[in-house]
């Protein structure tokens, strides 16, 4: 999951064939499905291992991070649905190139890519928050977690 924008050039969407766009979208789908496992792990971490917190500030920080993770989980599920729809459109285009308007489809593809890029940035930031929160809790709490 190093880079979501796997494009040989800036106008990939305008020069790529449907099969190349399909393969790129399948790669995105794989990444987004993996995000679900990471989000679930991070939620379990914050739910199960921070139950002994006593410091109010740590409790508030963990609650905020959990809220962000739950929101990410909703967005991840939305992305999965969007990618399935997009893959169905690509499959239809592979079977019949005239079934959808090419420009509309490419606009949809660009919008989906932007949404995925934004999601990834947000995910990385929330993940950093979880790591930072974990470090702070381990340093400030007297309990063994």
Q: pLDDT tens digits for 129-139? A: 999 888 877 77
Write down the domain spans for the chain.
Answer: 16-140
Where does residue 90 rank: exposed (0-12), middle (13-18), buried (19+ CB within 10 A)? buried
Dihedral of CA atoms 114, 62, 145, 40 in degrees, nearest 10, equals: -40
Q: pLDDT tens digits for 20-46? A: 999 999 999 999 999 999 999 999 988
In this prediction the pTM is 0.83
pLDDT category at 142 given cuts 50, 70, 90 is: low
Q: Does the pLDDT value for residue 8 go beyond 50?
A: no
- CATH match for 16-140 among 1.20.120, 1.10.3470, 3.40.50, 1.10.8: 1.20.120
Task: Give pLDDT, residue 1.
Answer: 45
């Amino acid at each position: 999951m190093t880079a979501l924008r796997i494009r040989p050039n800036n106008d990939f969407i305008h020069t790529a064939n449907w099969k190349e766009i399909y393969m790129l979208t399948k790669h995105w789908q794989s990444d987004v499905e993996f995000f679900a496992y990471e989000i679930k792990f991070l939620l379990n971490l914050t739910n199960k291992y921070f139950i002994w917190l006593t410091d109010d500030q740590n409790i508030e920080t963990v609650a905020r991070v959990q809220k962000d993770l739950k929101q990410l989980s909703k967005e991840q599920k939305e992305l999965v649905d969007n990618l399935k729809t997009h893959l169905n459109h690509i499959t239809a285009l592979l079977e019949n190139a005239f079934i959808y308007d090419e420009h509309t489809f490419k606009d949809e593809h660009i919008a989906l890519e932007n949404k995925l890029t934004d999601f990834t940035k947000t995910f990385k930031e929330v993940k950093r928050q979880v790591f930072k929160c974990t470090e702070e809790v381990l340093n400030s709490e007297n309990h063994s977690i």
